[in-house]
Amino acid sequence: MATEQFDVTIIGSGPGGYVAAIRAAQLGLKAAIVEKDKRLGGTCTLRGCIPTKALLMSAHVYEQMQHVADFGVQASEIQLAFADVQKRKEKVVMKNSKGIEFLMKKNKITVFKGTGRLALPGKVEVTGEDGKKQTINTRNIIIATGSVVRPIPGFETDGERVVNSDHILELKDVPKSLVVMGAGAVGVEFASVYSRFGAETTIVELLPRLLPIEDEEVSKELERSFRKRGIKSQVDTKLEKLEKTDKGVRLTGKTSKGEAVTLEAEMLLVAVGRAPYINGLGVEGTKIKVERGFVQVDEFYRTGEENVYAIGDVVPTPQLAHLASKEGIVCIEQIAGQKDVRPINLRHVPSCTYCDPEVGSVGLTEAAAKKEGYDVKVAKFPFSASGKARILGEEEGQLESTAEELGNTMHAHPTISEAVMEAAEGIHGLTIHI
């Protein structure tokens, strides 16, 4: 048993957990982190945001290099070195993880390697890879265990022909053809990556449009852009059966109108979301309430158990790294007794999808705002009218947002962000550049 007494112990070292630990140290609290992975950083750093964006960047450069003649640059025999793409991705991931390790040491945060389990009151049991156990004494506990790939019955992954978002990060070769099941952020990002790497790509979505939680006009614009890039969209379609073939997979299903759909590809990516990870955490028999897999908390992330909190993907808020970090800060400041700790307004949390073109949004969609009774006025500014976008040769992209703060912010020239200001000012009839 560890003889130290910690003020706060955080189970999980993702962007919610490690940021919470650093904020705790800054406020003079003695903090510990428990992490079952060999490296720190959680899903975001190891299997999510960071490696995915590294692949997206390589795909972006590869695509740009095929059009360098448009910029007056002559180049020939441009080839994709996919093994080197993967090496670069791993290097980026490793550097970020080591950076988190450095921050833990710098802030004198104790790291326990192993799987954490609640041993209430005031204790966390840690089981190492070798099976040895130790117990941490702690005044407060924060559950920040994140999420895992959500399994879909009938579409079980094998890491070869049927893969999930973890598997597809580690491919040795680019598949000749790829069906992506799910058109949320994960699905469209990987579709964007592998189509540019040369895979014939089709996205299948149960709902009527891509990125169904975004504004409808944004979805239409993205589908149009994907179509120009050769990415096919099969929306409003439910896949019902998966068969493995000699050449890959065969998928059958139906549209909402009952029309039969058959798709064949070398590989299927199942990208239908993530589920909270609380397996083995020991919430059973406690006052911690779990609904639909999510730990229920109040506005300051307190669970039903005294001095036990939960943040990030395990709670029913948007599964976004930057939100998890903010939740960690609010949680720690509450624990530390800071004055004027304010709950997070979820309407102010930005959503970002890093496909090509990129999509960003904040606040209610137009449809949601109208449903809530708001009198909605819409203005748009196309990147195709932006001087900077023309210079970059990237005249697509979409942001859905509200006007006042964006329009009142001074934007440097020439930048892509000027388009945001112009659209915001258009609400008040102040657009002057088109």
CATH architecture under which domain 348-426 falls: 2-Layer Sandwich (3.30)
5-149+275-344: CATH number: 3.50.50.60
pLDDT of residue 434: 45
pLDDT of residue 422: 65
CB 50 within 8 A of CB 92: yes
Q: What is the 3-state secondary structure (H, E, C) of the chain?
A: CCCCEEEEEEECCCCCHHHHHHHHHHCCCCEEEEECCCCCCHHHHHHCHHHHHHHHHHHHHHHHHCCHHHHCCCCCCCCCCHHHHHHHHHHHHHHHHHHHHHHHHHCCCEEEECEEEECCCCEEEEECCCCCEEEEEEEEEEECCCEEECCCCCCCCCCCCEECCCHHHHCCCCCCEEEEECCCHHHHHHHHHHHHCCCEEEEECCCCCCCCCCCHHHHHHHHHHHHHCCCEEECCEEEEEEEECCCCEEEEEEECCCCEEEEEECEEEECCCEEECCCCCCCCCCCCCEECCEECCCCCCECCCCCEEECHHHCCCCCCHHHHHHHHHHHHHHHCCCCCCCCCCHHHCCEEECCCCCEEECCCCHHHHHHCCCCCCCCCCCHHHCHHHHHHCCCCCEEECCCHHHHHCCCCCCCCCHHHHHHHHHCCCCCCCC
Active site residue 413: yes
Chain centroid, CA 323 distance in Å = 10
pLDDT of residue 397: 72
Q: Of the residues 67, 413, 428, 433, which is catalytic?
A: 413
Omega within 30 of 0 (cis) for the link into 414: yes
The reply to whether 162-272 shares the fold of 5-149+275-344 is: yes
Pick the CATH number of 162-272 from 3.40.50.300, 3.50.50.60, 3.50.50.100, 3.90.1200.10: 3.50.50.60
pLDDT of residue 413: 56
Domain boundaries, the chain: 5-149+275-344, 162-272, 348-426
Radius of gyration of the chain from Cα atoms?
23
pLDDT of residue 432: 47
Q: Is the pTM of this model over 0.75?
A: yes
**Tens-binned pLDDT, residue by residue, of the chain (434 aa):** 456 899 999 999 999 999 999 999 999 999 999 999 999 999 999 998 899 999 999 999 999 999 999 999 999 889 999 999 999 999 999 999 999 999 999 999 999 999 999 999 999 999 999 999 999 999 999 999 999 999 999 999 999 999 999 999 999 999 999 999 999 999 999 999 999 999 999 999 999 999 999 999 999 999 999 999 999 999 999 999 999 999 999 999 999 999 999 999 999 999 998 999 999 999 999 999 999 999 999 999 999 999 999 999 999 999 999 899 999 999 999 999 999 999 998 888 888 898 988 888 888 889 999 999 999 988 887 888 888 888 888 888 776 666 665 655 545 556 556 666 667 667 666 554 44
pLDDT of residue 304: 96
